[in-house]
Structure 1
Amino acid sequence: MKTIMDELEKSQGFMTWLKESVTVKLIFIGGLILVLLIPSLMIQGLINERETRRDEVDKDVSTTWSGSQLVQGPVLVIPYKRQVKEKVDNRETIKEVVENIYILPDALHYKAVINAEKLHRGIFNTAVYNTQVKVWGDFRTELSKLSITPSQLLPAKATLAFSISDLKGLKANPVIISGTQQLQAEPSFNEKGLFANGLMARINLTGADTTAIPFNFTLDLKGSQELSFLHTGKTTDVEVVGNWPTPSFIGRYLPDYRSVTDKGFTARWRMLYFNRPFAQQWAADDTLVSRMQTHDDALFGVKLKLPVDDYQKTMRSSKYGILIILLTFISLFLTEMISKQRIHSFNYVLIGAAMVIYYTLLLSFSEQVGYNLAYLIASVATIALVAVFIASLLKNKKPALLFAIILAIFYAFIYVIIQLEDLALLIGSIALFVIVSILMYFSRKINWDRN
């Protein structure tokens, strides 16, 4: 009988130790934090899924409205004859072949006026625009550099080649004016051309002064998100004016002048051919302009960015989720130890669940009202829920109020880090140092040796 009583007392003592041991409580909290990593990662996957859905909507709008537009050219193409030697049955013969000379503009000017708007598709927005791009300049030939004589040329078969990246966005057929000629543009699908989605206009240069061939035309376009240009002129001057308040200038060349206000923007570029990856004129090679590397090295333009990327900010906030949960649990544990009022382990689980659900609130509300207001709504709701829950557990409003203030400081700290991208590391490091210092101060009052 005594043995049974001893075993019962030992069992009761062990259970009491499990309930009151600080070490066991800390191990449980650490394990719970690791378990909460799983739903936190699932929420990040949900954010990625919603962002992917947004990108799909952008692509769908581009398909139905018009995609990003890239204006390329024009390039003057002049066929010429040359003689080549070839052997047939061990006999050398001379054959006449026709190839092309490709000449880039000596002076090239673009002037675009963008009228942009938001196109709504469900809860998502996409930037679309209408624009008129005026293009003018002139060509100057230097045949001697290519070792070609004027007698080799076929000027009656010359063409002007240019391109836009999405022909669906062309609202009117361009008319090219060159001297006294008015040239109708037509697709070059069945022609061996320089560009994908190319356009061409046949120009008769018979008797023309090839030292100065002017051109002038207007592209009436619609597109979405981006308007870019290809630097093909010996001197390329570009001016873009738009009503979009948050432009981003993209490509290899930044504008020499820019002005951005709440009502719109103005940007100007002036570029010389010294840093252009194309020759001014060449013969035979019709792929020079479209080769990926050289092509990408000559692109520049403007992107119509939406004012904020709520998904990117929500994702960055969610990556601090475990830090918030860790600091919350530590603060709750210190409150429990200092007030000497025990909080059951299951209540830690419920508070952890509230910390995780916070990010689904942030994501869903940010899609409706924007990130900043969504952050406020989700933070206030979560802080209020946890504070009321702790007050009911401890039967004391004072620790609950203190804990609500601590939690509010944590969320404010994360918000500041999200907003201050360039200073995030510095501010975050200083704040974490202060938090650790405060925790070290309050931890002095805890009896860590208690069983």
Structure 2
Amino acid sequence: MIDQPHPTGNWLRESVLLKLLLIMVIALLLLIPSSWIQELVRERSDRQEQIVNEDTDKWSGRQLIQGPVLVIPYKKAVREKDSTGKEVIKEYTQNLYLLSDDLNISANVKSDTLKRGIYDIGVYDALLSLNGRFNTANIARLQIDNSLIQYQKARLLFSLGDLKGLKADPTIRVQNRSYTASSVTDGLLTGGLQAEIDLSTLPPGDLPFSLNLQLKGSQSLRFIHAAKTTQVEVKGNWPSPKFDGRYLPNERSISKAGFYGKWRMLNYNRPFPQQWVGNDTLLNSFKRNNNVLFGVQLHIQVDDYQKTMRTSKYAILIIALTFVSLFLTEVIQKKPVHVFNYALIGAAMIVFYSLLLSFSEQVGYNWAYLIAAVATIALIAWFTASLLNSKAAALFAVILSVFYGFVFVIIQLEELSLLVGSIALFVVIAALMYFSRKINWN
């Protein structure tokens, strides 16, 4: 007597829905190594940032030009009660702060690229010329008794982002008199330089000043709008700058030979006053806020880690579409593919992202994507040919090429990426619906 196959065993072997469920489980499990790849990308990106920070610290960091500010101490009498309850008058010294009416800055930036292993770092040498004028008549608006103001102890204060970048001693000229600047620790400006100026020997009213700086820096050169009228001109030879900050330049040009940017700003939208008293940290608090900064970054045109991270986030989509395509192919051709083979194909698609990351560090994102995609598609097509046939493998290779090409186009796009991606997914779903119509899901 011949044993008849058990109907339950046949169903387990031949059930389309059960196989789909197993394929979905494999796709979800592949999310685990996919997350490992994303963590590896973050680790490599952090490593790049660490190396860039180490090298820029040795060269000179980001430069931020702030000021100048005229600081004048004055005496303030305050009524207080002593330990016996008797009212006494005590004198304290406070500072009044005055910003310039006009500030003109001209910067000539000569940039270069430092290489540290596989990483590029934008550095520069800059010549800056600053000139403008204060109007000491504005002090009267603070309504301070003129006899209490210590004009002889005035000082002109400005700051840089990294004093290590100074290549020559800065000399300030005020009313045709030269003053040597010295470093100072001041709550108003971090990284401060000051020149002590005896205003009691100078006529009141307009106080012209000028300053030349030779400094080096890295990654960015920025400024703070610290005058009633601020005008800044920056030109350099970096081919891919990025103008950023609170204010964009009124005039700008970018070419392979370099860049030019010109800003002109009035004080109407500035978040701090022209003169004030008492608040010794006012400008420092605004310096930490990027909304009041402006300038230029030595932008590295291609951020391979960012593109690789964005690509890896499409992993589950590509794996799902590939599995569905393979499943429809085996159903249409009536040649079953074991779920273990699905797992191997999924593993190959995960290795694609490892290849992309490692090659992008050496040859750039675009070439790395081509190498990784061709290698992955060739491997899967060869494997599929051994499971089905060469015709099905060629068709499957074309499908994979479309998928990987689709992701590459999405990564290159900026504003249109969501629109193009949504349309493409709609087309894919429509195609799957079309080819799955005649499948007997029972």
Give the TM-score taking structure 1 as reference length: 0.92
Counterparts of residues 136-147 of structure 1 (less than 5 Å) = 136-141=131-136, 142-147=138-143
Counterpart of 1:60 in structure 2: which amino acid?
E
Conserved? CA contact 1:383–1:404, under 8 Å: yes
Task: Name which of structure 1's ranges 278-287 and 69-78 shifts more when overlaid on structure 2.
Answer: 278-287
Aligned-residue identity in percent? 54
> Which digits, 9 at most, give the CA deviation of each residue in 1:79-130, with x for residues without a partner?
3345444445555554554433211111001111112222111211221111
Q: What corresponds to 1:172 in structure 2?
A: 168
Structure 2 SS opposite 1:290: helix
Quote how far apart the aligned CAs of 1:18 are.
Answer: 3.0
Is the Cα–Cα contact under 8 Å of residues 105 and 139 in structure 1 kept in the other structure? yes
Give me the whole-angstrom Cα distance separating, in 2, the residues matched to 1:148 and 1:31.
77
- Give CA deviations for 1:366-397 in whole Å, capped at 9, x if unaligned: 11111111111111111111111111222x32
Task: Look up the SS of the partner of 1:277 in the other structure.
Answer: coil
> Residues 286 and 292 of structure 2 are in contact (CA less than 8 Å); yes or no, is this contact kept in structure 1?
no
* Unpaired runs of at least 5, structure 2: none
Judge conservation of contact 1:278–1:294 (CA < 8 Å) in 2: no
| One of 398, 404, 417 as aligned partner of 1:405 | 398
Instruction: Quote the residue 2:195 is aligned against.
Output: 201
- After superposition, residues 343-362 of structure 1 pair within 5 angstroms as 343-362=337-356
Alpha-carbon distance in structure 1 between the residues aligned to 2:187 and 2:312: 50
For residue 388 of structure 1, what is the aligned residue in structure 2?
382
Q: Give secondary structure in 1 for the equivalent of 2:284.
A: coil
Asked whether the equivalents of residues 161 and 194 of structure 1 are also in contact (C-alpha less than 8 Å), the reply is no
SS of the aligned residue for 1:330 comes to helix
* 1:271-325 CA-partner distances (Å, limit 9, x unpaired): 1111112221223332222224896543211222210111111111111111111
Distance 1:226 1:378 in 2: 34
Partner of 1:263: 257
Supply the distance in 2 between the matched residues of 1:82 and 1:427 (Cα, whole angstroms): 67
* C-alpha spacing 1:131/1:293, structure 2 compared with 1 (3 Å): closer
1:221-232, aligned counterparts within 5 Å?
Answer: 221-232=215-226
Residue of 28, 33, 37 corresponding to 1:39:
33
Secondary structure class of the residue paired with 2:169? coil
Q: Measure the CA separation in 1 of the matches of 2:371 and 2:226.
A: 52
- Indicate whether 1:74 and 2:72 are aligned: no
Report the alpha carbon displacement of residue 37 of structure 1 after superposing the two structures with TM. Answer: 1.0
Q: Secondary structure at the match of 2:283?
A: coil
**Alignment partner, residue 301 of structure 2:** 307
Aligned-residue offset at 1:362 = 0.7
CA distance, structure 2, for counterparts of residue 390 and residue 82 of structure 1: 87
Aligned to 1:102: 97
Quickly say closer, same or farther: Cα 1:102–1:18, change in 2 above 3 A.
same
> Which of these residues, 240, 254, 264, is aligned with residue 248 of structure 2?
254
Bigger shift: 228-237 or 88-97?
88-97
Aligned to 1:121: 116
SS in 2 for 1:118: strand
Identify the match of residue 421 of structure 1 among 414, 419, 422. 414
The reply to whether residue 369 of structure 1 matches residue 358 of structure 2 is: no
Which residue pairs with 1:335 in the alignment? 329
* 1:446 match: 439
For residues 376 and 95 of structure 2, the distance between their equivalents in structure 1, rounded to whole angstroms, comes to 70
Amino acid at match of 1:227: L
The 3-state SS of whatever aligns with 2:73 is strand
1:291 counterpart SS class: helix
Structure 1 residue 38 displacement after superposition? 0.8
Q: What one-letter code is carried by the residue in structure 2 that aligns with 1:425?
A: L
Aligned in 2, Cα 1:443/1:295: closer, same or farther, shift over 3 Å?
closer
Amino acid at match of 1:359: Y
Q: Tell me what 1:182 maps to.
A: 178
Deviations 1:207-242 (A, max 9, x none): 312211111111211111121111110100011112
Amino acid at match of 1:398: K
Question: For the Cα contact (< 8 Å) 1:105–1:232, is it kept in 2?
Answer: yes
Contact 2:241 2:297 in 1 (8 A): yes
Distance in 2 separating the partners of 1:124 and 1:93: 66
Q: Residue 409 of structure 1: CA displacement?
A: 0.5
Shift of 1:30: 1.1
Residue in 2 aligned with 1:163?
A: 159
**Aligned-partner Cα distance in 2 for 1:284–1:271:** 26
Deviation string 1:401-429 (CA, Å, 9 cap, x unpaired) is 11101110011111111111211221111
Partners of 1:46 and 1:294 in 2: CA distance:
31
CA contact (8 A) 1:230 1:299 kept: yes
Work out the CA distance in 2 between the residues paired with 1:52 and 1:177. 44
- Shift of the 327–155 alpha-carbon distance from structure 1 to 2, 3 Å rule, reads same
CA distance change for structure 1 residues 387 and 179 in 2, over 3 Å: closer, same or farther?
same
Amino acid at match of 1:399: A
- The alpha carbon displacement at 1:144 in A equals 2.3
Runs of at least 5 residues in structure 1 that lack an aligned partner in the other structure: none
CA deviations 1:49-87 (Å, max 9, x no partner) are: 111111111221222111111111111122334544444
Amino acid at match of 1:140: N
Give the counterpart of 1:277 among 271, 281, 285. Answer: 271
Q: Is the 8 A contact 2:98 2:139 kept in 1?
A: no
Question: Which letter does structure 2 place at the counterpart of 1:114?
Answer: V
Shift of 1:445: 3.7
Report the CA distance shift for 1:424/1:146 in structure 2 as closer, same or farther (over 3 A).
Answer: same
Are 1:143 and 1:149, in contact at CA under 8 Å, matched by a contact in 2?
no
Partner of 2:213: 219
Q: CA deviation at 1:206?
A: 2.8
Q: SS where residue 441 of structure 1 aligns? A: helix
TM-score by length of 2: 0.94
Q: Secondary structure at the match of 1:196?
A: coil
Q: Comparing 99-108 with 242-251, which one deviates more in the overlay?
A: 242-251
Find the counterpart in structure 2 of residue 22 from structure 1: 16
Q: Deviation at 1:340?
A: 1.6
